[in-house]
């Protein structure tokens, strides 16, 4: 068996991201992804079982990349509020640097194509954030809510603002970002 070509796989992933962002999941066929990646459709099936397998692996790859950013950003003894502030702003910067990746992740997180296994694996990449949540709950720094509820109050408003900015409906100035961060922190901090 021939060894996998990492550049080929990367082209397949980038083509899938671009076509899904442009055409949606149904419109981005394996044939179209292969054509844009300049590979044959058969090549895609050498790397992946099917389209769903490719998209789940792509999702995990992007989660690993984002989680890796958070891991290098945070020290082991990071204070809860400062650590969450760093992650919040880094999520903003990552979305600005890689808007196509951000759009794909945002779409795929809400898509029935994602396997439960992929969702569970993706959570492992965000362990640094989950540790901050746990430390914050234990020390009564943040409200005693489930991680998913904390995410909804802390990160989801930023995600919504980023979508509005990408659709040119608002401009996230430094002052608006600061206000938005404060509102997100206030939503989860213990009173």
Q: What is the CATH number of the domain that holds 32?
A: 1.10.10.60
4 and 65 co-located in one domain = no
Share of the chain above pLDDT 90, in %: 80
Has residue 2 got a pLDDT over 60?
Answer: no
Handedness of CA 126, 132, 137, 142 (dihedral sign): negative
Rounded CA separation 117/39 (Å): 28
Share of the chain above pLDDT 70, in %: 97
Please give the mean pLDDT across all residues of the chain.
92
71 and 115 co-located in one domain = yes
Pair of tokens at residue 164: 């509005």
69 and 148 co-located in one domain = yes
Least confident of 9-13, 17-21, 77-81: 77-81
Q: How many domains does the chain have?
A: 2
1 and 82 co-located in one domain = no
Confidence of residue 163 (pLDDT cuts 50, 70, 90): very high
Helix spans in the chain (H): 6-27, 30-37, 41-47, 51-73, 80-97, 99-109, 116-125, 127-138, 147-154, 156-166, 174-188
Mean pLDDT computed over 150-168: 96
90 and 74 co-located in one domain = yes
What's the pLDDT tens digit per position in 88-131? Answer: 999 999 999 999 999 999 988 877 767 777 788 888 899 999 99
28 and 116 co-located in one domain = no
CATH number at residue 131: 1.10.357.10
Rounded CA separation 63/127 (Å): 11
39 and 56 co-located in one domain = no
Mean pLDDT computed over 48-72: 93
79 and 161 co-located in one domain = yes
79 and 141 co-located in one domain = yes
43 and 61 co-located in one domain = no
39 and 63 co-located in one domain = no
Mean pLDDT computed over 120-143: 93
91 and 183 co-located in one domain = yes
This prediction's pTM: 0.90
Q: Which range marks the domain in which residue 23 is found?
A: 1-47
Mean pLDDT computed over 35-60: 94
């Amino acid at each position: 068996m021939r060894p996998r070509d990492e550049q080929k796989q990367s082209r397949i992933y980038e083509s899938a991201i671009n076509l899904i962002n442009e055409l949606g999941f149904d419109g981005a066929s394996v044939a179209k992804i292969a054509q844009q990646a300049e590979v044959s459709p058969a090549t895609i099936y050498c790397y992946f079982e099917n389209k769903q397998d490719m998209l789940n692996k792509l999702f995990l790859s992007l989660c690993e990349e984002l989680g890796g950013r958070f891991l290098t950003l945070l020290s082991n003894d990071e204070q809860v509020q400062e650590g969450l502030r760093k992650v919040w702003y880094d999520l903003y910067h990552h979305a600005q640097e890689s808007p196509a990746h951000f759009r794909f992740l945002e779409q795929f997180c809400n898509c029935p194509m994602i396997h439960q296994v992929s969702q569970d694996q993706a959570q492992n990449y965000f362990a640094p954030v989950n540790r901050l949540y746990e430390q914050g709950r234990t020390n009564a720094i943040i409200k005693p809510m489930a991680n998913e509820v904390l995410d909804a109050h802390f990160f989801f408003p930023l995600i919504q603002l980023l979508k509005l900015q990408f659709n040119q409906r608002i401009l996230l100035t430094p002052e608006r970002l600061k206000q938005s961060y404060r509102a997100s922190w206030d939503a989860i901090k213990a009173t």
